Structure 1
Amino acid sequence: MNVKQQGHTYFIHADDYSALNSESFDPNYWREQNAIVNEKKGRATAYFVKLSHSTIAVLRHYWRGGLIGKILSDQYLFIGLEKTRVYQEFSLLCALHSQGLAVPQPIAAQVKRSGLIYRGDILTKAIANAESLCERMQKQRISDSSWEAIATTIAKFHKAGVYHADLNINNILFSTNNCIYLIDFDRGELRTPALQWQKENMARLKRSFYKEAHRQETFYFSETNWQTLEQYYEDEMKKAVV
């Protein structure tokens, strides 16, 4: 449902979170409540906040990347609510979660508009004790069964027509029981399944392996690992959609 108040638009996925308001998207608010339990820094900091006794959420602000990000920072041109990156990502997450695909559960999001400019934030349920593929590869070799699980998960998304705009090894997570999740669907979308964009997605993923291999002091990866992942992916893509 949508809740509008004082020029802000809130998207709430479940009635359980109807009490959330503008403060809920401010890291300083959670810091004052002593409710930030972790922070992960990247291009943008993700804050892990304790929403309730049983719920840890990930709070992420929308920041621009690249050269334009150095100028406009977190400002986006408002040309309609449904055109905002916030609305598009939140709506996509809701759809994917309802289909049973392995994504974080969406909680709420905010579009904060000022004239022709908007800023945005999103809250999703944290995956318990999650570890990214990148983090794991800095500590140990990945088993064949894990490569198969990663490949099968990606193939399920692709067969469902899910385009991930930034498919890389930081956006592939292992949960506590080694289930695989994909995160960060900013600029993602549903498309007609097609070999061209699926191949481009996989090529982007491959580049991220080699990028981190050159960046990290210890990184357990080889070309054979990629071939294994690719083969499992191709095998899964050949199976009929159930």
Structure 2
Amino acid sequence: MQTSEYRNDNSFVLVNKNVLTGTQECIFGDHADNACPDVSDDQGRGKVIFFDFEQLELVLKRYHRGGLLGRLIKNTYLFNGLQRTRMWQEFHLLAKMRDKGLPVPRPVAARCTRHSAFGYQGELIIERIPNARTLAEILSEESLPDNVWQNIGLIIRRFHENCIDHTDLNACNIMLNTNGQIFLIDFDKCCERKQASKDWRANNLARLKRSLNKWSSRETGFNFQSKNWNMLLSGYQTSRQQLSKGMQGQSKAGRLAS
């Protein structure tokens, strides 16, 4: 993936040159502000907006804080170098994962805007995964067969085999499209580990299980049971030989262009 960076007054922009030609900071303009926002509050650490740009279906995320601190300082972060900003890190992590053949959205552009000597705000634009819904949305309407749960476990294992720590793995950050492909999204504050220790892997899985249990407890008819989790774990615990076959199958099902 080829990228370029440029500056415009107090804004720094990072673009995927395989998608955009030139600077095209207008991609962050009014058309995005006036687009349809995602009405869910469970889609991750940011306000998500869907919009079209030059025949592309895109998603813009504005970064904001969660929890108690987010009530005091909503969307401003301490600036400690451009490469350490949240949107720069997520953009580059997405690019690296796609180079590894992992099923994640294609990063399109990121912008960091300095509002003071010490603070910044920012946005990230990715390509929208077509014909896809979150795992939470699907389970709110229907149950999934055992093989799909196993495939979800297999996909998570692929990320772990590549030392990708998804620190906010939950039912809204797993997406399935109508072709049966499975994607992970929302990698804010996630990272590539240098060592594949078991602790962070277990934490990812535990966070996902808590998310599914939370949805199940608060929404009547949510289609998640203990046997579904066991199927997910059986897919996750697959052998390396089976994992390799699964990776090839997912790639054949529809490898995305960089």
- TM-score for the superposition, normalised by structure 1: 0.91
5 Å-filtered alignment, 1:223-238, equals 223-236=226-239
TM-fit CA distance, 1:15: 4.7
TM-fit CA distance, 1:46: 1.2
TM-fit CA distance, 1:39: 3.0
Query: Per-residue displacement from partner, 1:172-198 (whole Å, max 9, x unpaired)?
Result: 000121100000000010002111110
TM-fit CA distance, 1:236: 4.6
TM-fit CA distance, 1:85: 0.8
**What residue in structure 2 maps to residue 93 of structure 1?**
94
- Residue 108 of structure 1 pairs with residue 86 of structure 2: no
**What residue in structure 1 maps to residue 141 of structure 2?**
139
TM-fit CA distance, 1:38: 6.0
Q: Which amino acid aligns with 1:75?
A: T
**What residue in structure 2 maps to residue 57 of structure 1?**
58
The 1:142–1:3 alpha-carbon spacing in structure 2 relative to 1, beyond 3 Å, is same
**What residue in structure 1 maps to residue 126 of structure 2?**
124
The 1:19–1:240 alpha-carbon spacing in structure 2 relative to 1, beyond 3 Å, is closer
Q: Which amino acid aligns with 1:228?
A: M
* Structure 2 residues without counterparts, runs of 5 or longer: 248-258
Q: Which amino acid aligns with 2:40?
A: K
Q: Which amino acid aligns with 2:98?
A: H
* Structure 1 residues without counterparts, runs of 5 or longer: none
TM-fit CA distance, 1:52: 2.0
**What residue in structure 1 maps to residue 219 of structure 2?**
216
The 1:228–1:197 alpha-carbon spacing in structure 2 relative to 1, beyond 3 Å, is same
* Matched-pair identity in %: 31
The 1:236–1:167 alpha-carbon spacing in structure 2 relative to 1, beyond 3 Å, is farther
| RMSD over aligned Cα atoms | 2.0
Q: Which amino acid aligns with 1:210?
A: N
**What residue in structure 2 maps to residue 204 of structure 1?**
207
Query: Per-residue displacement from partner, 1:52-100 (whole Å, max 9, x unpaired)?
Result: 22x1000010000110000000000001111111111111011111211
- Separation in structure 2 between the aligned mates of residue 195 and residue 172 of structure 1, nearest angstrom: 21
| Large movers: runs of 4+ above 4 Å | 19-23, 236-242
Contact 1:13 1:106 in 2 (8 A): yes
Q: Which amino acid aligns with 2:114?
A: R
**What residue in structure 2 maps to residue 179 of structure 1?**
181
- Separation in structure 2 between the aligned mates of residue 20 and residue 164 of structure 1, nearest angstrom: 30
TM-fit CA distance, 1:208: 0.5
The 1:38–1:84 alpha-carbon spacing in structure 2 relative to 1, beyond 3 Å, is closer
**What residue in structure 1 maps to residue 40 of structure 2?**
41
TM-fit CA distance, 1:135: 0.6
- Separation in structure 2 between the aligned mates of residue 84 and residue 237 of structure 1, nearest angstrom: 35
